[in-house]
Amino acid sequence: MALLLKEQIDKRWPDQAKCTCTGGPHLYEITCARETLAELCGWLFIDMRLKFATLVVEEASREWRLRYIFYGGAGAVWVHVLASSPCSEESFPSIVESVHAADWHEREAEDMFGLTFAGHPRLGDFILHDDAWQENVQPMRHHFDPQMAIRFRKPAADWRPHRIVQEEGAFVMPVGPKFSGATESVHFLLETVGEDVIRFTPRLFYKWRAIEKLAEAKPAGRVLLLAERFAATTAFAHGLAYCQAVERICGAEVPPRAAALRIFLAELERLRQHAGAIQEICESTALVVAASGAGIVEEDLLRISGELTGHRYLFGMLAPGGLLVDLPDLACQRALRGSQQVLRQLEKLEARLRVSSSFLDRLEEVGLVAHQVATAYGLLGPVARASADAHDLRREHPYSGYEKFQFEVPSEEEGDGYARLRVLFAECRQSVRIMEQALDTVAGGSVCRSFPFRAGAALGWAEAPRGATFHWVRLDDQGYIDRYHVTAPSFANWHGFHAAVENFAFQDFPIMLASFDLSVSEADR
Amino acid sequence: MSHWVFNGIRTGIKTSAYPRRPETAAGVTPGLPRGRKLDAGEAKALMDTCPAEVFRLEDGRVLADVRRCIHCYRCMRIAPHPALWEQSYEWALQPGRETGFVSAFKKSINICVVDAGDCGSCLNEVRQLNNPYYNIHRLGFFITPTPRHADVLLVVGPVTDHMSLALQKVYNAMPTPKLVVAVGVCALSGGVFAESFACAGGVTDVLPIDVEVPGNPPPPLAIIHGLLVATGRKAPVDMPATPYQSGGSGP
Ligand code: SF4
């Protein structure tokens, strides 16, 4: 497939696109004329069945550089499609007509940089809320001055929620940003004519902290703190993807001991996050004993993490080049034993849930996501795997030595809430299995190798508990950040979430929300 | 479905003995740094490792303003003369005067939680409060969805620009007397997001804070301590003023 890709592109677009194989056999860069962009991206996405990872916009001194990153397919390749234009030319053709997964990415680029994407059906009012900011605030531009933006603040006075349903008697039920008990801040517009949710529009970015802007011109070690802390329920996975990007730029090798321990910790985090997700699902169906049982397991895992690393969310373990501190083997063994015990509890819980008909009634055939929808939206993680999209970066684009591990990628066919729950349980089993192997094979030696910084850019990736996370990093030769772009799994999953909730009754909404395990801080950044 | 009942009973009691007795289980807290006595050069090395400007030098002692700590562990893991570390969890402070919560209902307090842009971990620790391990209902604390019923406003996160108005509206919708408990370093000083133009850098700029709970995130026990302090059932600590302890064990 790899060779095929280059040949086919040369044949189809001999003058418009140039495909080169850079950095290893699996990474392709295609420089593409703007007129051909949509067609070529569509071909990669639909015909070649690649997945869309992210769109990286960079403002170079004289030109815009856009990088559409695709991955996967039969050959497990990375394909970077590059398009550029002079700085004065701020319009690009939109690719969403064929690559639906890029929808929100283009909206983000429009909001952050002021680029327009010709042919995109709906730009504006995305990250920067129109009822909070005036037009023409472009925070990611180099010349952006927050003082001016704040001083001349002029929100749109006539902002109205986006409405689709125009039926007589239709109304919009707004929910949030503050709603329910202890929930993340997000706003939902639920359109209805009565019992069912007919259209659903999430309004995200209440929690937008502009971490990509914040990272600019900061040393790489400092930005690691941000990478860990912007969505800290999965801090380790994000920190790991970030560290791998920095290491890739600088050509740094991670000592084998650190690589194995990174995997151990990443799986511990997955286990904990999945236990939390299971707890939320049980709670959303008001099955109190099960919710308490899962809650006990979650806290057990938080304590195991805290005892092992000092921190319940694994902060302060990662460092570019390895780990900040070594973990004694005995402590790791203890953590593993604890995790195995926890897994037994989870298995008991699963067995009980399986025979609780009132619980199953609320999950089965609820929040359906068809396989085609999952691929079109580029859904990620357990949500995609429950819709028969058994994709996993640990398997297809292994990092940190995952290629040496034996594990399965669980998947289900139905794409409903129950399928997602089963995937979560199955993944917990696999995580413990990987942790066991990590400790069996862990070598001795140091856990960190320092390295000199180099100018350059690279993508770091990891399979976070909620799905694939991508961190694009550009460094200067002093090790300061030029550009940092994060695409976390919940960004894609929020995009597709509406497809699951539409045409369901209101009372199922909390259950569907819980079964998607969405993180707002991951999407908002 | 009866198996759930038996299963629930068989699980037994998991709940922490805190606040009656200290909690001794491992992994319930990330701990906090303590100041120590160092000479000027050593102290400078320690201060330079900390990305959050926690340490300062005063009369030959290094003092730690733990309200700023973001738990990166660099002071303990890479500084040549590491900071001392304390595995405590009673961290809540009262920045202003003694508030004296004048309410007849000290033992039945409704809490409204607002996420003003947190990273998810503070909120996850708040979620644990209803977990059997912590079960705040036994202490008379209840999380309520609506501000109208709330006595205490619990805020997490650095207060993003987009959440600022919502936060004020929630506060205004609460009946008096009311208290604000700011949970986590981001709510206290913005944490790693402090410099962002899209964040207020803490709750203080928007609302008056009555009780501060440091930590990134503060563990559930620290949040419980914060709530007990808010209702006058526990004394606050006076950490910034007593950062120096001689002795103590280094890592
Ligand atoms: S843990 Fe990090 S932030 Fe906290 S005092 Fe130490 S160096 Fe500073």
Are B117 and B154 part of one and the same domain? yes
What does the block give as tokens for B130? 């209803």
Best residue in A283, A311, A327, A354 for a mutation probing chain B (most B CBs within 10 Å)? A311
Residue B248 lies in a domain: no
Quickly state the pLDDT bin for B246 (edges 50, 70, 90): very low
Contact A206 B166 (CB under 8 A): yes
Q: Are residues B70 and B163 in the same domain?
A: no
Q: Do B131 and A299 touch (CB under 8 A)?
A: yes
Q: Do A225 and B51 touch (CB under 8 A)?
A: yes
Q: How far is CA B35 from the centre of its chain?
A: 19
CB contacts under 8 A, B 119-178 vs A, are 119-121, 123-128, 130-134, 143-145, 147, 157-158, 160-163, 165-166, 170
Contact (CB<8Å) A177/B163: yes
In the structure, what pLDDT confidence band is assigned to residue B239 with cuts at 50, 70 and 90?
Answer: low
* pLDDT above 90 as % of chain B: 46
Whether B155 maps to a domain, the answer reads yes
Pairs of CB atoms within 8 A across A/B: 197
Tens digit of pLDDT per residue, chain A (525 long)?
Answer: 556 788 888 888 888 888 887 766 688 888 888 888 999 999 999 988 999 999 999 998 889 999 999 998 777 889 999 999 998 888 899 999 999 999 999 999 999 998 999 988 888 889 988 888 888 888 898 888 888 878 788 888 888 888 888 888 888 888 889 988 888 999 998 888 888 888 888 999 999 999 999 999 999 999 999 999 999 999 999 999 999 999 999 999 999 999 999 999 999 999 999 999 999 999 999 888 899 999 999 999 999 999 999 999 999 999 999 999 999 999 999 999 999 999 999 999 999 999 888 888 898 888 899 999 999 999 999 999 999 988 899 998 999 999 999 999 999 999 999 999 999 999 999 999 999 999 999 988 889 998 999 999 999 999 999 999 999 999 998 999 999 999 999 999 999 999 888 888 888 888 999 999 999 999 998
Q: Which residue of A has its CA nearest to B51?
A: A222
Query: How many CB atoms sit inside 10 A of residue B87's CB?
Result: 13
Q: Domains in chain B: how many in total? A: 2
The ligand 1 site (C-beta within 6 Å) comprises B 33, 49-50, 52, 54, 69-75, 83
Whether the per-residue pLDDT at B208 is higher than 70: the answer is yes
Does residue B196 share a domain with residue B155? yes
Contacts of A179 in chain B (CB under 8 A): 145
Nearest CA to ligand 1 atom 4: B69
Residue B140 lies in a domain: yes
CA A195 to chain centre: 32
One domain, residues B80 and B116: no
Among A153-167, A212-226, B56-70, B74-88, where is mean pLDDT lowest? Answer: A153-167
* Domain identity same for B176 and B124: yes
- Note whether residue B72 is domain-resident: yes
* CA distance linking residue A210 with residue A128, whole number of Å: 10
State the helix-helix crossing angle for A509-516 and A417-441, rounded to 10 degrees: 20
Q: Select from A212, A229, A466 the residue whose CB has the most chain B CBs within 10 Å, as the one to mutate to test that interface.
A: A229
Q: How confident is the model at residue B241 (pLDDT cuts 50, 70, 90)?
A: very low
Q: Which two tokens stand for residue A233?
A: 């329920």
DSSP-assigned beta bridge partners for residue B141: B109
Q: A208 and B113 in contact by Cβ < 8 A?
A: no
Spacing, Cα B205 to ligand 1 middle (Å): 24
Among B47, B69, B192, the mutation site with the greatest number of ligand 1 atoms within 8 A of its Cβ is B69
B16 contact partners, CB below 8 Å, separation of at least 6: B23, B25, B28, B133, B134, B221
DSSP B151: S
Identity of the residue in B78, B131, B192 whose CB atom sits nearest the CB atom of A225 = B192
Q: Is A172 within 8 Å of A144 (Cβ atoms)?
A: no
Among B59, B41, B45, B53, smallest CA distance to B244 is for B59
Tokens in use for B234? 């526990």
Q: Which residue, judged by its Cα, is nearest atom 6 of ligand 1?
A: B75
Chain A contact for B190 (CB, 8 A cutoff): no
Q: What is the mean pLDDT of chain B?
A: 86
Residues B138 and B224 in one domain: yes
CB contact under 8 A, A231 and B119: yes
Same domain, B69 and B112: no
What CATH number corresponds to the domain at position B183? Answer: 3.40.50.12280
Residue B122 has pLDDT above 90, yes or no: yes
Q: How far apart are CA A443 and CA A101, in angstroms?
A: 41
Q: Within 10 Å of residue A143's Cβ, how many Cβ atoms? A: 6
The dihedral region occupied by A27, where left means phi > 0, alpha psi between -120 and 50, and beta the remainder, is beta
Q: Does B56 contact A at CB distance below 8 Å?
A: no
End-of-domain residue from the set B22, B53, B86: B86
- Report the residue among B53, B75, B78, B91 best suited for mutation to probe ligand 1: largest number of ligand atoms under 8 A from its CB: B75
Q: Across the interface, do A316 and B157 touch by the CB < 8 Å criterion?
A: no
Question: Is B50 a member of any domain?
Answer: yes
Verify that B122 and B226 share a domain, yes or no: yes
Least confident range from A248-257, B25-34, B239-248: namely B239-248
* Amino acid letter for position A344: R
Amino acid identity of A265?
L
Suggest the residue from A134, A279, A287, A299 to mutate for an interface test with chain B (most B CBs closer than 10 A).
A299
In a domain, B244, yes or no: no
Contacts of A209 in chain B (CB under 8 A): 117, 158, 160, 193, 196, 198-199
Q: What share of chain B is helix, strand, coil (3-state, %, to 5)?
A: 30, 15, 55
C-alpha distance across the termini of chain A, in Å? 36
The shortest CB-CB distance from B119 to any of A132, A356, A521 is to: A521
Q: Minimal Cα distance from A184: which residue of B?
A: B115
* B98 domain-assigned: no
Give which of A185, A334, A361 to mutate to test B binding, by max B Cβ within 10 Å.
A185
| Residue A322, SS3 per DSSP | strand
Testing ligand 1's pocket by substitution, the residue of B72, B76, B185, B239 carrying the most ligand atoms inside 8 A of its CB is: B72
Check: CB of residue A81 under 8 Å from CB of residue A67: yes
Contact between A418 and A360 (Cβ < 8 Å): yes
Q: Which of these, A421, A429, A355, A346, lies nearest to A386 by C-alpha position?
A: A421
B78 plus B112 within the same structural domain? no
How do beta strands A63-72 and A77-86 pair? antiparallel
Of all protein residues, the one whose alpha carbon is nearest to atom 8 of ligand 1 is: B50
Report pLDDT digits (tens) over B163-174. 999 999 999 999
| Boundaries of domain holding B213 | 103-230
Residue in A159, A144, A479, A447 with CA at minimum distance from that of residue A324: A447
pLDDT for A321 equals 92
Q: Which residue of B lies nearest to A224 if distances are taken between CA atoms?
A: B72
8 Å CB contact of A324 and B120 = no
CA distance B238 to chain A (A): 24
Closest alpha carbon to A503 in A165, A175, A203, A176: A165
User: How far does residue A41's CA lie from ligand 1's centre (Å)?
Assistant: 45
- Note whether B180 and B225 are same-domain residues: yes
B121·A225 Cβ contact <8 A:
no
- Residues A409, A434 contacting (CB under 8 angstroms): no
Pair (B65, B118) in one structural domain = no
**How confident is the model over B49-67, as a mean pLDDT?**
87
**Rounded to an integer, what distance in angstroms lies between the CA atom of residue B41 and that of residue B28?**
35
Ligand 1 nearest-atom number relative to CA B52: 3
With CA atoms as reference, report the closest residue to A43 among A15, A64, A73: A73
Please report whether residue B11 resides in a domain.
no
What burial letters (b/e) apply to A219-236, b meaning 16+ CB within 10 Å?
ebebbbbbbbbbbbbbbb
**SS3 per-residue string spanning B58-102:** ECCEEEECHHHCCCCCHHHHCCCCCCEEECCCCCCECCCCCCCCC
Looking at the fold, whether B70 and B143 belong to one and the same domain comes out as no
pLDDT value for B105: 65
Which of B44, B59, B86 delimits the end of a domain? B86
Give the N- to C-terminal CA distance of chain B in Å, as an integer. Answer: 50
B120 alpha carbon to ligand 1 midpoint, in Å?
A: 20
Q: Does B74 touch chain A (CB under 8 A)?
A: yes
With the most atoms of ligand 1 within 8 angstroms of its CB, the residue from B38, B46, B50, B189 to mutate is: B50
- Hey, what domains does chain A have and what are their CATH numbers? 2-145 (3.30.460.80), 211-312+325-443+459-523 (1.10.645.10)
Show which of residues 77-136 on chain A sit within 8 Å of chain B, judged by CB atoms. Answer: 129, 132
CB count within 10 Å of CB A52 equals 24
**Chain B residues in contact with A278 (beta carbon < 8 A):** none
**pLDDT band for position B244 (cuts 50, 70, 90):** very low
Contacts of B11 in chain A (CB under 8 A): 292-293, 296
Q: What pLDDT, on a 0 to 100 scale, did the predictor assign at position A66?
A: 92
Cβ–Cβ contacts within 10 Å for residue B88, how many?
17
What pairing do the DSSP bridges indicate for beta strands B32-34 and B84-86?
Answer: antiparallel
Q: Check which CATH number belongs to the domain holding B46 and give it.
A: 3.30.70.20
Tokens of B164: 């600022």
Which amino acid, residue B216? Answer: N
Contacts of A355 in chain B (CB under 8 A): 3
Give which of A305, A306, A296, A304 is closest to A275, Cα–Cα.
A296
